[in-house]
Structures are given as C-alpha cells and as structure tokens.
C-alpha cells in the first residue's frame, strides 16, 4: 500500500479525480490508487485476471499537473499483463494497474469503465444517468489451506482473507455458502471468488471456485396489469435484457379494488394472488435469463417496486386493510429478504430488495418514480404523475415533497370506454381532427402511417390486423381533439347540432356519438360516445383534483415541470393532456413523458446502494396527502370536470394551441351543457336533429 511516501518517492496523479500522492517506488498503480482513495474496480484483487483495473498512463500532461519530469514512469508489462493482453485483448495504451508499478512520477487516467462508481447512462430507458454503487460485489481471494496446527474453520479462513485482501470486516455468510465453501476451495485450489452483499458488515451470499466474474440482477416493476423487468450486469450496470408479462392476478379482478374484494370474499384468496404473482415473476426471470443468455442461478440480486396492494401480495401480506380507511400498510419501510422466500428460483443466496411504500395508496412504485425523476433534488416545482387505475401524484422540489394517489379508475386504460382496449396492435393511439371538416385521421399501433395515407388500409392488412379499438393515449387525444374542433363543449357535451354538418356526429337514444372509424364489414365501428367522454372526464377530474390538492397544500397556482410516467402515462401527448385538463397548465416545453419511471427507479435501486439509502430517506420526509378524506378533493373534482378546466387561466396552453373561446364565469355557472356559445349551437342543432 502507498502509505506515507517521502519526498524522494515517485509522485502519482490520478485523473479525473485529481488525487495525488507519493508512494514508494515499485508500488503497483492499483495499490497506489487504493491508498489514495481513488476509485478503481477489481474483482481478482490484483492477480492480473479480471482486467477491470485497466488504466491509461497519460503522456504530456505533466506540466499541467505541476510535474516537470516526463514521460510516465511505469514498469514495463510483465508476463501476467502480456498473458491478459493475449487472451482478452487490451487497448494498446492501456495498462493493468495491478501489474504496472510506479518507478517514477506518473499521471494515470482511470477511464470510466475501470471505476466501480461509474456513471450508467441508458438513453433507451428514459432513465437519468446515475452512478453505479453495487450492492453485490465479487471478490477473488486466496484462502489459507487448513492446517492441523491451526484448526480454524474454512469460513474463518475465508473471512480472514476477505478482511486482509479487501478490508471487508465482520462479514456473515449464508449457510449455503458454508456448505459450498469446502468443495469450492478444493476445486479452486484454495482460490475462490465470493459475492458479498452489502460490503463490510454484510453477507457472503455466493462462492465459486477460482476466478469468477459474472453477477447479474433483475429490477422488476409489478404493475396491476403488466409486470416488467430489466436484467442487468451488476458489475458494470449494462442492461442485457428487458421483458414484460401480464400480471396473472387479472383473472381475480381487473383493478386493484376488485382483487382486494376477491381476497375479502375468498378464504385463502390472498395466498392465491400471492402465488399467481410470484409464479409470473419466476417465469419473467426465466425469460429474462434466456434472453440475456445467462443462467437464472447467476441472478444474485433483485429490486422490486409495485403499488401497495401489489407490494403486499408479493410479500404474502393480506392486502385487505388497504381496501378501506385508514388504508394501513403492514410495512412501509424497505424490505430486504432472500429471493427464495418469494419462491423465486435464482441463485440461492440472492436477495430481494423491495422499495419502501409511502402511504396506503402510494406505493413502492411511486418511490421508484421519485428515484427515477428526482423531484426532491429539483429547484423547479415538479409534478410527476404516474397514470394508471390509480394515479400516483408527486409534487414538490428540493424543499418539500408531497405525494398522493387519486382514484382515476380504469378509463385511461381503455376500460369503461365503448371502443376502449389495451395498447396492442390495431389500437388507435394517435388522433387528429380537422377543425373545419371535423374529419379525423389517426394512427394505430403496429402500422407506420396515418389513416389518411393512401395505402393505409393495405398497411393495416399487411400488419395482420384491423383497427380494433382505441387505447388510452388515443382516448385522451380524441377527446381533446373533439374539444379543439368544437365537437364537444367545455362541459363535455357532444354538440348534436353538428350532425347537420357531418355524418361523423350521429345520434343515439338521447345523446350523440362521434364516428371515429367505420371499418366496414371486416372491423368494428369505432365510436366516441357521450358516455365515453363522461368516463374520461371523471378520470381526468380525479387526477386533476389530486394534483390540485397538492398544489393547495403547497400554496401554488402553477407548476414548473411536469413528468407523465407509467406505461400509459408516457404515451400521452403532453399537449393533449393539458388541453383535456389532466394536468395543470405548464410550459409545453417542460412537460414530458418519463417512461416507466417506476421500473427505472427499481433499476437504479438494483444498481446503487446509495440510491436505496437516498429513497429510504426521501420517503420518510414525503408529506402524504390522503385524497379520500380531504373535503377539498370533492370540490376540486367537481370543478375539474370541465374541459379544459374552465375556471382557471391556461396561459401556457393558450400560447401554443388555438383553444375554443373560454366561457365567462356566468356561462360556467349555467347548468347542463357547455359554455354559452356552444350550448346555443347545441340547442339549435339538437332540435334540428331530434326533429
């Protein structure tokens, strides 16, 4: 180790950290780095096997660092480095820091991939860059063979080696590790690699003979409808596979409350739901491992998020108390247990980390969203909504953070909508309606063209589908577009007078519908009915009312940033969301989708112990608002039924969208129907139509 070098010793400067010091000549670069607290990775512990500690000696940078002698004085590559270079390859300018010795002054660059705490950047996940801080790390050690004179146990000698080589004190070991230790020592000629969970004071969870450098983890977001997972390499943070499966609990109830009802009404129902979700998780692990080309027994760590009911059912806790006030969670802190306790077949030593819950309706998924979007670090007042059957809402900034959930119901997911469906090939996901002709054009999932393209019908056929219905994002857009085109009023009434202008508006018993698509004999007719509009109004009003409640609590009238998260949420066009009044007015430039932020949060927690400690702290500080018992929630809800929110100014929206004229206050106070201008027209038209 470097320890106290004297003035005549070589000076070494590490970049990018800038740490510098003098070490005795002959010290390896790795030892010098460790002594100076420079972050260099290593699995093999300086045996020239793993190649994780490769560094780049810098030339010509000496003057900058105040050293005049040049070039870098490192020992020439020896046999070990040459062997590594021959077998695994190593860029010409790179050296293994565990074999290169400092003979004179040197400047040494530690590239990001050789740092333990490297940045992980994944553009395709919508994930913010974050710093790897592995909870599970691999360490190769040479264990002293047993000896008659000092009859200590194998485990004791392993612990000694880990303490001496890696400064890992006070490690415990799983019994399975104790079982596997002797065979591994024998097979590896007393060299073994172990996986240590939680660093010093933590647990040895796995042991392999000799050198071993494969360790994987899986981050899972358990949604009510779908379960999504990412499989990552724990040693460098790369993502090797992503996959999703349906949540099989759906057969016990589409939405959360119907699943709770199932549990309440069926003896052993909670165990059934628990078994179902665990089996699905286990299958997901298998398919992720398969996709990534690894064995499932190489999975050493899991991180999981889910709403409170999914969270409880995963852990085998009866969720019944979450079904009614006071919505008491059994446990709100983070849970760490052996993955085997969840019936998951991974490495037997694998641990599962379940993020903390925030409140009875605001779960570990919201904790994941916070971790992914970091509103608690923002200066700007940030609103994050994760839209689902329940919308989770987080509002705040570095000073204060509030969270609530709002019962939006399943309309946004296509349920309760006459032509609603899940996002799947054939579903309409984008809609535009011409302000003059009132003609629509749309896009369907799986077809790469708008519906007004000449070859659209052929393309749909080529995709092996028909236009089957409208998914969540399509519903938001069509209602918003109908409003912008004046087909529906600010109060959500389909203007029957327009039936005179276009066959797109057609009457049924007492109301009107808009014909979005007529597929002919081969496909369903896709209408937007008055009931559909009402369902969307109810859902968006619930969401908006929840947001509004948090804004009241903070005493603000506007937010600076909006993130729309969730599988559905991130598909919503921000502008249409604002037109419809799902979210408050905001600069459209500062409204964006956040992808599956809950899943991203799980991934960050998988790969960073620091992130776990961070979210555990943040969750304790979050102020929880229970919408169900806030009297103002109902007021806001009623207010928020209008499209767009008719009592508030929408300066940002008005700047970018040509909104129908905003009604005056007296209009708004009028009963049934929309604003005056529309209502008058409606009255005329409907008279005509009904005649």
Binding footprint of its own copies on the chain (CB under 8 A): 145-149, 151-156, 173, 175, 178-179, 181-183, 315-318, 320-321, 325-333, 335, 337, 341, 357-360, 624, 626, 628-629
- Do 583 and 611 touch, CB atoms closer than 8 A? no
CB of 47 to its own copies, least distance (A): 24
Task: Report which of 591, 590, 558, 547 is spatially closest to residue 573, judged by C-alpha positions.
Answer: 591
CA distance 272 to 261: 13
Between residues 174 and 429, which has the closer beta carbon with respect to its own copies?
174
Q: Which two tokens stand for residue 652?
A: 């940002």
285 or 403: whose CB is closer to its own copies?
403
Largest CA distance in the chain: 107
Q: How far is the CB of 594 from its own copies (least distance, A)?
A: 24
Structure letter (DSSP) for residue 133: B
Q: How far apart are CA 135 and CA 124, in angstroms?
A: 24
Closer Cβ to its own copies, 151 or 520, answer by number: 151
Q: Which helix (H) or strand (E) holds 353?
A: strand 351-354
Q: How far is the CB of 652 from its own copies (least distance, A)?
A: 34
Give the separation between CA 573 and CA 579, rounded to whole angstroms: 10
Closer CB to its own copies, 112 or 156, in the complex: 156
Q: Which two tokens stand for residue 152?
A: 């200590």
**The two structure tokens encoding residue 215:** 């360790």
For its own copies, which is the closer residue by CB, 78 or 145? 145
Give me the least distance between CB of 525 and its own copies, in Å please. 46
CA atoms of 203 and 309, how far apart (whole Å): 30
CB of 320 to its own copies, least distance (A): 8
Rounded least distance, CB 204 to its own copies, Å: 12
In the complex with its own copies, which residue's Cβ is closer, 320 or 502? 320
- State which residue, 155 or 670, has the beta carbon closest to its own copies: 155
Smallest distance from its own copies to CB 398, Å: 23
From 356, 370, 365, 304, select the one nearest 563 (Cα to Cα). Answer: 370
In the complex, the smallest distance separating the C-beta of residue 159 from its own copies, rounded to whole angstroms, is 9
State the nearest-atom distance from the C-beta of 628 to its own copies, in Å. Answer: 8
Cβ distance to its own copies smaller for residue 50 or 329: 329
Nearer to its own copies, 465 or 553 (CB): 553
What is the distance in angstroms between the CA of the first residue and the CA of the last residue of the chain?
A: 95
Token code pair at residue 463: 């995709």
Of 224, 228, 284, 274, nearest in space to 250 by CA:
224
CA-to-CA distance for 483 and 480, rounded, in angstroms? 5
Where b means 16+ CB within 10 Å and e means fewer, 552-591 reads bbbeeeebebbbbbbbbbbbbbbbbbbbbbbbbbbbbeeb
Cβ atoms of 15 and 107 closer than 8 Å: yes
Kindly give the pairing relationship between strand 623-624 and strand 401-406: parallel
- Minimum gap (Å) between residue 338 Cβ and its own copies: 10
Q: Which is nearer to its own copies, 151 or 268 (CB)?
A: 151
């Amino acid at each position: 180790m470097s320890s106290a070098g004297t003035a005549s010793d070589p000076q070494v400067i590490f970049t990018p950290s800038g740490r510098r010091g003098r070490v005795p000549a002959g010290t390896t670069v790795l030892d010098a780095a460790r002594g100076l607290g420079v972050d260099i990775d290593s699995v093999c512990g300086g045996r020239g096997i793993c190649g994780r500690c490769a560094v780049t000696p810098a030339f010509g940078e000496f003057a900058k660092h105040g050293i005049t002698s040049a070039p870098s004085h490192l020992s020439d590559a020896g046999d070990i480095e040459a062997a590594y270079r021959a077998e695994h390859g190593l860029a010409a300018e790179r050296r293994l820091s565990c074999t290169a010795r400092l003979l004179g002054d040197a400047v040494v660059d530690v590239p990001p991939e050789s740092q333990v705490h490297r940045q992980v950047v994944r553009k395709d996940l919508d994930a913010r860059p974050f710093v790897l801080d592995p909870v599970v790390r691999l360490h190769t050690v040479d264990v002293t063979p047993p000896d008659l004179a000092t009859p200590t146990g194998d485990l004791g000698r392993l612990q000694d080696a880990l303490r001496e080589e890696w400064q890992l004190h006070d490690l415990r070991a799983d019994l399975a590790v104790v079982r596997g230790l002797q065979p591994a020592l024998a097979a590896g000629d007393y060299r073994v690699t172990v996986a240590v969970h939680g660093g010093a004071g933590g647990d040895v969870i796995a042991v392999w003979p000799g050198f071993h450098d494969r360790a994987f983890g899986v981050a899972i977001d358990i949604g009510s409808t779908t379960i999504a997972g990412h499989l990552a390499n724990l040693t460098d943070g790369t993502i090797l596979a992503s996959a999703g499966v349906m949540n099989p609990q759906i057969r016990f109830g589409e939405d959360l409350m119907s699943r709770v009802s199932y549990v309440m009404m069926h003896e052993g129902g909670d165990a059934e739901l628990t078994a179902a979700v665990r089996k699905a998780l286990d299958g997901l692990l298998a398919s992720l491992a398969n996709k990534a080309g690894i064995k499932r027994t190489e999975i050493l760590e899991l991180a999981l998020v889910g709403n409170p009911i999914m969270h409880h059912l995963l852990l085998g806790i009866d969720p019944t108390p979450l079904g009614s006030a006071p919505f008491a969670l059994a446990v709100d802190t983070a849970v760490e247990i052996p993955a085997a306790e969840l019936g998951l077949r991974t490495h037997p030593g694998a641990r599962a980390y379940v993020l903390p819950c925030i409140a009875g309706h605001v779960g570990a998924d919201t904790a994941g969203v916070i971790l992914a979007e970091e509103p608690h670090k923002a200066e700007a007042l940030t609103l994050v909504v994760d839209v689902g059957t329940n919308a989770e809402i987080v509002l705040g900034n570095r000073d204060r953070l509030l969270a609530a959930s709002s019962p939006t119901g399943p309309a946004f997911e296509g349920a309760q909508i006459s032509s609603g469906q899940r996002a799947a090939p054939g579903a309409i996901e984008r809609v535009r309606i011409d302000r003059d002709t009132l003609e629509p054009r749309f896009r369907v999932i799986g077809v790469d063209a708008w519906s007004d393209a000449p070859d659209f019908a052929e393309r749909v056929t080529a995709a092996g589908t028909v236009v089957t219905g409208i998914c969540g994002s399509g519903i938001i857009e069509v209602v918003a577009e109908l409003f912008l085109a004046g087909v529906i009023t600010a109060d959500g009434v389909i203007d029957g007078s327009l039936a005179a202008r276009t066959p797109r508006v057609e009457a049924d018993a007492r109301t009107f519908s808009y014909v979005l698509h007529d597929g002919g004999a081969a496909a369903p007719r896709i209408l937007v009915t008055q009931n559909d509009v009402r369902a969307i109004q109810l859902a968006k009003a619930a969401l908006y009312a929840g947001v509004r409640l948090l804004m009241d609590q903070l005493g603000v009238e506007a937010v600076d940033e909006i993130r729309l998260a969730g599988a559905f949420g991130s598909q919503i066009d921000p502008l249409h969301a604002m037109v419809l009044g799902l979210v408050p007015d905001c600069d459209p430039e500062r409204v964006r989708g956040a992808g599956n932020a809950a899943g991203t949060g799980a991934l960050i927690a998988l790969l960073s112990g620091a992130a776990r400690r961070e979210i555990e702290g943040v969750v304790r500080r979050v102020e929880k608002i229970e919408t169900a018992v806030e009297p103002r929630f109902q007021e806001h809800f009623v207010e928020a039924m209008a499209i767009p929110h008719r009592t508030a100014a929408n300066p940002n929206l008005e700047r970018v969208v040509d909104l129908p004229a905003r009604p005056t206050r007296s209009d708004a106070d009028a009963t049934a129907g929309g604003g005056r201008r529309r209502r008058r027209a409606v009255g005329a038209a409907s008279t005509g139509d009904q005649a």
